[in-house]
Every structure is written in structure tokens, then in C-alpha cells.
Amino acid sequence: MANVVAEATGRQVASFVLGSVATLTVVLLLQHRPEELSLPRAPVQFLGWRGRNGTSSSSPATAAASEAGGVIIGAGEEADHQANVTKQPADTTTTTGTTAADLGQLAGGADHEKEVDADAEDVEFRGLAAVVERVATSDDRTVIITCVNYAWAAPGSLLDLFLESFRIGDGIAHLLDHVLIVAMDPTAMARCSAVHRHCYLYTMAGIDFTSAKFFLSKDYLELVWSKLKLQRRVLQLGYNFLFTDVDIMWFRNPFKHVTAYADMAISSDAFFGDPDNINNFPNTGFFHVRPNNRTVAMTRIWHEARSRFPGKNEQPVFNAIKNELVKDLRLRVQYIDPAFMGGFCSYGKDLNKICTMHANCCVGLGAKLRDLRSVLHDWKNYTKMPHWAKHAAKWTVPGACIH
């Protein structure tokens, strides 16, 4: 009798073990179905943010960020995403093909229709994803962007000086492989294609950007504000970008002065000695931005703030709303010392430190060209000096603008 009971008990145990193994096998198979592995990655989702009480904040920046679908990440959290762009031919409609996993913690729901606006933006920026993928650095997915119309791209104009500065700079000629020149009219595109490998045509219906634009004229404002939309799209595609005006001469690699901490590192017209002092005066002709939820929301808020400041270009508007962006988005902004990223407004006199020189605080294409040619001449003379004499090198002043 005891043997019968033991045998029955053994059968029950064996049945239980076999059943458990079978169940576990089914679960593992379901988790690793081949058809799921073959599916393309879903586009990155910038998730909707709500306050603790479930409602949106009433401040302008936070309300706009919520509408944008941008996640507001707490201080100290990392949200930089490493997006993988789906490879597509340059002449086809492009889409993002990224993971939804940022390095930090994503919060909120899955409503991202307003943030992505995929159909409209892929039509407006047709082929941009493929171009950026070719131009960006392979290690950290960074692209250098500048914009030109034909007046700036014509032979002997700003584009020629800009490209020359890389070639005569201190070991930075290779960076031209990662410079994307955005042409704002077909004539500028043709000129760009003749002198540079990486060009992208971005036009706006009903606006002719070919000729030089007077500062703060209607067409000038449309031109400078349109750049912000393209920059935002680059962030959505998962790339770092360093935007540089074409009237900036490059002499050394500026990336060594872009900190890993900052969401946005920006040059300054008036620098008070502390890179973290939000009261420094920004210059939006040269700034580096990392792709994360804060910066995507920031570019949308910044663009939408145009309606609050009619007749203003993007730089004074950013200066006006920067405190909102820092407070509501917890955007991490750092300013770069003009000793390294200088301009005619404020520049470092030590040529041993200078990385870039900007023809800001200077109105008129002719005046810019005159002084930038002088700057290039000064740099060439500096590079020919013996090492012991370089500390005495100076810029040629006064000029048409630089003093």
C-alpha cells in the first residue's frame, strides 16, 4: 500500500514539474517571437507632461511644453536619447526610426501627435534625415549647421571666407566633413554644391531669400526664424547640432569648450565671468544643443514666443524667455567665454586661445566682409610667427565694425 501511495505521489510531482517547464517554455517563446524581432523600431515618443495634480502648469513655457508633448525632466536626470535614423534615399520622405528609451527616466502618457507632426514635417524637411545621417559624426552623432542665401554664398562673399577659415585653422579642416550648409534659395544651393560636399535646400513658399536682407526687415525675420524650425527637426531626429552663423570664422576646435552637463552651450555678447550665470547676454549665432525632451520643447516654445515679441529676431526673444525655460523646463544653459568664442561685440585679444570670431555688432554685408577678411589676415600672420612671439599677436583694429 505504501508503495502505491509513493508511486502516485511521484507521478503527481513529475506531472507538476513537467507542466511548469512547459508553461515557462511558452512564456519564453512568446517573449522572443521572431516576428517581433523583425519589426522596425517605433519613432521616439516625446511624452506628455503633467503637473502633480494632473493638470498643466499655467506658466507660458510650461503650458507650451505640455502642448508640445515635451517631457520635463527633473534636475540631475539625463534624458539624452540615442536615436537610430532609418536609412532612406535623400529624395524620399524621411521619418525618424528611434528607440523610445532616453538615458534618463521618461514620464507621462503616450500622446505625442503634436510633438512629432510626422507627416507635415517630413514633407517640409524632405530628405533631411538622410543628409544629416551622412554628415553627422559617427561617434556622438553631431552635425555642424550653417545657413546661407545667395547674397552670402556668392563668390567672394561670406561662405568663401567661412570655408577658408576651416582650411587655415589649427587642425580643424576635417570638421568640414561634418558641416551641413542649408541653402535658403535654389541659387545658393547651386553655389553651395559647387564648393562643398554637404548641402541641403530649405525654402519657404512665397518668400525669395536670394538677395541680401536688411536687418529686422520682414524677409530677414522670416529667414532667421525659419532656421529654428530646422534645428528642432534635427533634434527630433536624435542628433546633436552646433549652429554657427556663416559670418563666423573658425580657427580652433570649439567642441572642447562644450560641456557634457549643458543641454545648451551658447556664445555670449556680454559675459560676466560665470558660465552658469543666466544673466549673461546670449548670442544665438553660435550655440550647441543636445537632443532630449527639454531641448525639443525649448525650440518649440522659443519659436512660438515670436508672436509675443513682434518685430524681434530670435536672439532677443530667447534672452527674454530664457528664465522661463530654465525654470519650467529645467533647461541647463551654459555660456561660453568670449575669450574662446569671440565676436566684434566682445572678443578675446589673446590669439592663443581664440576658437571662433563672429562679425556680430556689425550691420551690413560690406562691413562684415571687410572686417572678416582682416581677421583672416591677422590669423594667417599669427600662424607664421615663431612660438615665442605669438603672445604679442593682436587683431587689426579699428575696422569697419571691430574696435
pLDDT, averaged per 10 consecutive residues of the chain (403 residues), comes to 48 52 46 38 30 38 44 33 35 31 32 48 87 96 96 96 98 98 94 98 70 53 82 97 97 94 95 94 96 96 92 90 96 96 88 95 93 97 95 90 87
CB 321 within 8 A of CB 305: yes
At 4, list the grid cell.
502505491
pLDDT at 347: 81
CATH of the domain at 130: 3.90.550
Same domain, 333 and 220: yes
Instruction: Tell whether 33 and 124 lie within a shared domain.
Output: no
pLDDT, residue 213, reads 47
Q: What does 218-271 look like in DSSP terms, one character per residue?
A: HHHHHHHHHHHHHHHHHHHTT-EEEEE-TTEEE-S-GGGGS-SS-SEEEEEEE-
Do 17 and 132 share a domain, yes or no?
Answer: no
Name the strand (E) or helix (H) holding 160.
helix 158-168
Does any domain span residue 29?
A: yes
Cell of 58: 499655467
3-state secondary structure of 157: coil
Which among 343, 364, 390 is the end of a domain? 343
Residue 58 pLDDT: 39
Domain membership of residue 132 (yes or no) is yes
The structural domain count of the chain equals 2
Q: Find the helix or strand (DSSP H, E) in which 72 lies.
A: none
**pLDDT value at position 50?**
27
What pLDDT score does 67 carry?
42
Range list of β-strands (E), 190-302:
199-201, 240-244, 248-250, 264-270, 281-289
Q: Specify whether 334 is located in the same domain as 198.
A: yes
- Number of H helices and E strands in the chain, helices first, is 13, 10
The answer to the question of residue 382 being in a domain is no
Q: Which of 314, 343, 372 is the last residue of a domain?
A: 343
CA distance 70 to 45: 9
Model pLDDT, residue 219: 60
Quote the Cα angle for 265-269-273, to 5°. Answer: 70
Predicted pLDDT of residue 56: 36
Task: Give me the domain span that covers residue 136.
Answer: 119-343
Grid coordinates representing 40 are 522596425
- Give pTM, 2 decimals: 0.71
Q: Taking the CA of residue 390 as centre, how many other CA atoms within 13 Å lie in the half-sphere pointing to its CB?
A: 15
Same domain, 29 and 178: no
User: What is the crossing angle of helices 60-68 and 293-304, to 10°?
Assistant: 110
Give domain status of residue 348, yes or no: no
